[in-house]
Structure 1
């Protein structure tokens, strides 16, 4: 994984990560695992791999984007 993706804002499945705590490891839709440091409303750099997965009707984990 490139450093650019490492620094990007990732998207997470809301069903798999309903209320992550600060610093808790979470797995992004692209498969990258990082400590959770809060959700950003308008991130400067989005992860392109996560953005591609968000357009799918079902995430790799089996959930849909609307599930909670």
Structure 2
């Protein structure tokens, strides 16, 4: 995994990843898997692949962003 991916703030499916704990391995919408270290909302550092997938009606996992 590149440092660029590690620094990017990823988007997650709220159904597949309802409440990750610090250090839990999670998979972002773009497919990157890494330990979860908290939510970061910095638009400059957002993962562009995750942003594109989060804008879709249905995520790659089959869920929608409005499901919980």
Query: How many residues of Structure 1 are paired with residues of Structure 2 in the alignment?
Result: 67
Q: For the residues of structure 1 that align with 2:56 and 2:3, how far apart are their CA atoms? A: 25
TM-score normalised over the length of structure 1: 0.89
Larger proportion of helix = 2
Unaligned runs of 5+ in 1: none
Moved over 3 A (4+): none
TM-score by length of 2: 0.89
Cα root mean square deviation, aligned: 1.3
Can you give the 5+ residue segments of structure 2 that lack an aligned partner in the other structure? none
